[in-house]
Structure formats: C-alpha cells, structure tokens
C-alpha cells in the first residue's frame, strides 16, 4: 500500500518549474492541497523510474499543455506543513528548475484549476508562498545572467 501524501511516513520528492517568457512567469492555481487555490509553479511528484528533469518536463506538459526542453536546476526546497497539534501533515522535498518558453498557449490541465502568465511586478499581490517567490526571483536573476542585454555596435566600439 503506497504512503499517503497526507500524514506521510516519509518525504515525497516533487518538482517545480519556473517557466519564463521575458518578464512574465507562468503560474498555476493549485487544484489540490497543500496550498489548494493558491498560485504556484507548475510541478508535482516524481514518478518511479523517471529523473527529476523528466518529472519537470512531464508536469509542465500535464498542468499547462506546454512542452519544454532541458530545464535547468535552480534549487532544492523542503516544504513541511504541520497541523495544529504539530504533526507533519505534508512533507515534500521540492527540486526546482527554470526554463524559457518560446511558443504555445498554456491551458490548465491535470490538477491545475487555471494557468496564467503573470508580470513580474504583479507577483507581490498574488500571496505566493515565500519560497515560491524566492525561487521565481532566482530564475529571473539566472535568466538575466544567461541573456545579458545586447549593446548596440555603435556603443560597443571604443572611441580612440
């Protein structure tokens, strides 16, 4: 009999994926606990026999309908949710990735109530879990480091 995710006997491994399109980030509204109804990253549980990167690709496809390739590792986060008596109700080890989206129209699927692109500046109003907000900002910083702004040739030419 498999472990229940609620009041588990061991942590569950899950993945989250920050999908960026410029200054937009793709978020889903969760359809299941924990954090039911909250905006979050597309993601979910790793299945037996798949790598965490494969789980990330599958979960983005299932929850948003978008295909992604080669997500890059960002961070690993522990999510512990306790009940009022202090017992661990949920325990996830979350492996977070980031990638860029270049095409496609997202559509909510699987356990996502909805899916939507959000502008970076609107994120503070969404009430995101603090770790989700931190991971998204880390992805934006990583994207900026990987894609530095291009300097027009006229400005890049040294003046002698």
pLDDT tens profile 85-96: 999 999 999 999
Whether 151 has a pLDDT exceeding 90, the answer reads: no
Name residues whose C-beta falls within 8 Å of residue 54's C-beta, 6 or more positions apart in sequence.
none
In the predicted structure, residue 122 carries a pLDDT above the cut 70: yes
Q: How far apart are the first and last CA of the chain?
A: 75
Can you list the domains of the chain with their CATH numbers?
Answer: 12-148 (3.90.79.10)
Q: What is the pLDDT of residues 45-71, one digit of tens each?
A: 999 999 999 999 999 999 999 999 889
């Amino acid at each position: 009999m498999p472990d229940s995710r609620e009041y588990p006997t061991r942590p569950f491994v899950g993945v989250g994926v920050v999908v960026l399109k410029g200054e937009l980030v793709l978020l889903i509204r969760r359809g299941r606990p924990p954090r039911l109804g909250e905006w979050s990253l597309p993601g979910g549980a790793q299945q037996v026999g798949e790598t965490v990167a494969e789980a990330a690709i599958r979960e983005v496809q299932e929850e948003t309908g978008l295909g992604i390739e080669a997500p890059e590792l960002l961070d690993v986060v522990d999510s512990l949710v306790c009940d009022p008596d202090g017992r661990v109700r949920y325990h996830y080890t979350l492996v977070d990735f980031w990638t860029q989206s270049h095409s496609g129209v997202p559509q909510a699927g699987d356990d996502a109530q909805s899916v939507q692109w959000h502008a970076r500046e609107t994120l503070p109003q969404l009430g995101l879990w603090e770790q989700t907000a931190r991971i998204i900002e880390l992805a934006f910083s990583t994207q900026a480091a990987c894609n530095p702004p291009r300097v027009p040739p006229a400005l890049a030419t040294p003046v002698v």
